[in-house]
């Protein structure tokens, strides 16, 4: 039998793109979900890689995309909830609708993905849900309050779900990275240089290095669950 299906949200750039490349290199069929379609390159092309242009806040669209991929490749054995962004700004000056959408993506989007796969995993007594949060899920910064609060909620969800589904042999893994070199600064409306300055010009790890760590967690036997892990550069004392 071939490798099982892996579903990744926020999969067209940054951490999600690196995750897709790592799982593709191991021969997994992939469903790559992102709000905007983007060229994925030769390493993410082929009959076993499917791209879906879906907003994770749309539960019906998420279900439809996942059911379609499962019809082609078999049940989802691994779901990686990675989609997200951060807006930095004075909370009282932000548009409430913008804040609401940010929370919807960061928290409800995770719930939508889990809802689409959990029943099947429970029935098969096999499956892994990996939630990519942030060091901010436990050490919030002075800005980006909705982001940090939503990430903390996902960490709590991960722990609660892990306890609730332990008897069903379903793994739930929370991965909290910090200081990963991505384009997150673009959604903050600042340059990478300004982003570094605000953080004190720290060392960063690469998205590919983080993808290797996530893949390691996934590749453990089903009876082993790395429940909660923080990934930071050794030289950083943040968190």
pLDDT per position as a tens digit, 73-111: 999 999 999 999 888 778 999 999 999 999 999 999 999
Work out the burial of residue 90: count CB atoms within 10 Å of its CB; fewer than 13 is exposed, 13-18 middle, 19 or more buried: exposed
Q: pTM for this one? A: 0.92
State the CATH architecture for 5-231. 3-Layer(aba) Sandwich (3.40)
pLDDT in tens, 193-202: 776 666 666 6
Residue 54: which of 99, 113, 107 has the closest Cα?
Answer: 113
pLDDT in tens, 31-47: 999 998 776 766 777 88
Tell me the mean pLDDT in the region 141-162.
Answer: 93
Share of the chain above pLDDT 90, in %: 69
Pick the catalytic residue: 147, 158, 171, 217?
Answer: 147
Neighbours of 21 (CB within 10 A): 18
Q: Does the structure show a pLDDT above 90 at 16? A: yes
Nearest-10 Cα torsion for 110, 115, 116, 121: 110
Question: Are 155 and 172 spatial neighbours (Cβ–Cβ below 8 Å)?
Answer: no
- Token digits for 52? 């879906």
- Token digits for 130? 């990996």
Q: Give the pLDDT confidence score for residue 185 in this predicted structure.
A: 60
Q: Strand runs (DSSP E) across the chain, as ranges?
A: 5-9, 30-34, 49-53, 76-81, 128-132, 171-177, 180-181, 205-206, 228-231
Q: Give the pLDDT confidence score for residue 143 in this predicted structure.
A: 78
User: Has 101 been annotated as catalytic?
Assistant: no
Q: Give the pLDDT confidence score for residue 203 in this predicted structure.
A: 75
More confident residue, 136 or 166: 166
Q: Does the structure show a pLDDT above 70 at 183? A: no
Q: Give the pLDDT confidence score for residue 12 in this predicted structure.
A: 87
Q: Does the structure show a pLDDT above 70 at 187? A: no
Average pLDDT, the chain: 90
Q: Does the structure show a pLDDT above 70 at 172? A: yes
Instruction: Looking at mean pLDDT, say which of 131-135, 181-185, 231-235 comes out highest.
Output: 131-135
Tell me the mean pLDDT in the region 53-65.
Answer: 98
The residues spanned by each domain of the chain are 5-231
């Amino acid at each position: 039998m071939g490798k099982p299906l892996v579903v990744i949200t926020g999969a067209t750039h940054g951490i999600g793109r690196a995750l897709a490349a790592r799982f593709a290199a191991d021969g997994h069929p992939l469903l790559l979900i992102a709000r905007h379609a983007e060229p994925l390159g030769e390493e993410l092309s082929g009959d076993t890689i499917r791209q879906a242009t879906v907003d994770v806040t749309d539960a019906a669209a998420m279900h439809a995309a996942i059911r379609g991929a499962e019809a082609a490749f078999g049940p989802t054995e691994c779901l990686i909830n990675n989609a997200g962004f951060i807006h930095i700004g004075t909370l009282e000056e932000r548009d409430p609708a913008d804040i609401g959408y940010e929370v919807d993506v960061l928290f409800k989007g995770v719930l939508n993905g889990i809802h689409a796969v959990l029943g099947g995993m429970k029935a098969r007594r096999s499956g892994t849900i990996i939630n990519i949060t942030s060091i901010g899920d436990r050490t919030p910064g002075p800005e980006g309050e909705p982001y940090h609060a939503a990430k903390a909620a996902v960490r709590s969800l991960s722990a609660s779900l892990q306890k609730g589904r332990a008897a069903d042999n379903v793994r739930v893994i929370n991965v909290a990275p910090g200081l990963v070199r991505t384009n997150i600064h673009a959604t903050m409306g600042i340059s990478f240089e300004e982003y570094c300055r605000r953080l004190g010009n720290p060392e960063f790890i690469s998205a590919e290095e983080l993808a290797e760590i996530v893949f390691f967690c996934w590749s453990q036997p089903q009876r082993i669950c790395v429940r909660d892990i923080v990934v930071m550069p050794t030289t950083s004392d943040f968190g």
